[in-house]
Amino acid sequence: MKEKIIAILEGIVHPATEKGLISSGIVDNVSPSTENISITLAFPKNRDPFMNSIKRQIIEQLGSAFPEMKDKISVTVKEGVAKNTNANPKPEMKSGLTKVKKIVAVSSAKGGVGKSTVAVNLAVTFASMGYKTGILDADVYGPSLPKMLGLEGYLPEAEERERQTYMIPAEAYGVKAMSIGFFIKPDDALVWRGPMATGALKQLIHQTDWETLDVLVIDMPPGTGDVHLTLLAEMKVNGAVIVSTPQEIALADVVRGISMFRADHINVPVLGIIENMAWFTPEELPNKKYYIFGKGGAARLAEQTGVRLLGEIPLIMSAMEGSDSGKPAVTTSAEAARYYEHIARIIVNNIS
Ligand code: ADP
């Protein structure tokens, strides 16, 4: 019976290690008896975001393999290293993140709301405020950072240090930048499967030579999913901001995003919502505000979710043009710079 249980446990794949639970080294003890089946798992860090779904899968799969034991299966979780592991311990890898002081994740419920634009402009603003800043484009489904920072064609060089390989990030407007887009041809219609995306992201996170940074901005993929959980498990994110547009977007999508950050094993404070493309002011009518996409959508979202509204950013022509020509709006428009500085200051003052 024990062998069968072990085979079942190995058949359950931990999304972050991409290996079975036994090979992942998290199974501490397996004790079947005629009365019950008791499994102990050991997670090296109690922030493991996959813990609950793994527990659920174990109970389900053992329950269907041993129907007579269905209600007598217990899975206990402890923090620490499993004693009973068959896994070959991996050599301790030093992460390029060790000298990064704060990490801010920029996320959105949907694509196309300006999440990447906001992430890039925020990063350039932090740098202009004197903070050593980096940005990681983790939007595996549509990496846009190389274009937005005028870094297309940059090929990161690798450097060997203490028998480990680090990649040198690009630099633009005083911001160190790394993107999955540096490694793929822009025209490649690339569909990243989960494990491929998470594997590549882990490498980008830990093997980029960030050196000392006051703040690292992460441009997250839109929505919620396994890639997000991997990102949040791999690094300690100090705060998350959510970008939204004034359109009536499904409250449920935003709530799902907020719940992801606030979940037990993740515990990332949500710093607030940024409303992008809030209104339009034509150059010839500087005192007019046209609420093209509706008014106050993000403010309502903030109220309904109990999350702060960090600020509103209007439609800025130079933001759109700048995205394509590699010139972020804050570097060409004093107005844009003001909006972003206001938001950046709130973030700095509220990040713990
Ligand atoms: P996401 O990362 O959410 O998919 P992007 O940042 O790529 O969205 O933005 C989508 C498009 O909207 C881009 O063409 C970008 O230039 C444009 N855009 C974003 N924010 C603004 C803004 N405030 N004013 C004008 N255009 C904007």
Prediction pTM value: 0.76
Report pLDDT for 57. Answer: 92
Report pLDDT for 91. Answer: 46
C-alpha of residue 3 to centroid of ligand 1, in Å: 54
Fold for the domain defined by 2-79: GMP Synthetase; Chain A, domain 3 (3.30.300)
Give me the sign of the Cα torsion angle 38, 43, 48, 50: negative
CATH for the stretch 100-350: 3.40.50.300
Q: Which atom of ligand 1 is nearest to the CA of 144?
A: 7
Segments in 238-316 forming alpha helices (H): 251-262, 297-305
| Amino acid at residue number 116 | S
Answer yes or no: is the C-beta of 254 below 6 A from any ligand 1 atom.
no
Report pLDDT for 163. Answer: 77
Q: Which atom of ligand 1 is nearest to the CA of 119?
A: 6
Answer yes or no: is the C-beta of 148 below 6 A from any ligand 1 atom.
no
Residues 274, 343: contact at Cβ < 8 Å? yes
> Which residue, 310, 345, 294, 352, is CA-closest to 107?
310
C-alpha of residue 319 to centroid of ligand 1, in Å: 7
Report pLDDT for 178. Answer: 96
3-class secondary structure, 149 = coil
C-alpha of residue 309 to centroid of ligand 1, in Å: 19
C-alpha of residue 329 to centroid of ligand 1, in Å: 11
Answer yes or no: is the C-beta of 277 below 6 A from any ligand 1 atom.
yes
| Amino acid at residue number 268 | V
Could you give the CA distance from residue 249 to residue 246 in angstroms, rounded to a whole number? 8
| Amino acid at residue number 326 | G
Would you kindly state where each structural domain of the chain is located, as residue ranges? 2-79, 100-350
C-alpha of residue 113 to centroid of ligand 1, in Å: 6
Report pLDDT for 127. Answer: 98
Q: How many helices (H) and strands (E) does the chain have?
A: 11, 15
Q: What is the mean pLDDT of each run of 10 residues along the chain (352 residues)?
A: 90 84 87 90 74 89 92 88 53 77 95 93 98 94 90 88 87 96 65 68 90 96 86 92 82 86 90 93 88 85 90 85 84 93 97 87
Report pLDDT for 283. Answer: 82
Answer yes or no: is the C-beta of 313 below 6 A from any ligand 1 atom.
yes
Report pLDDT for 190. Answer: 54
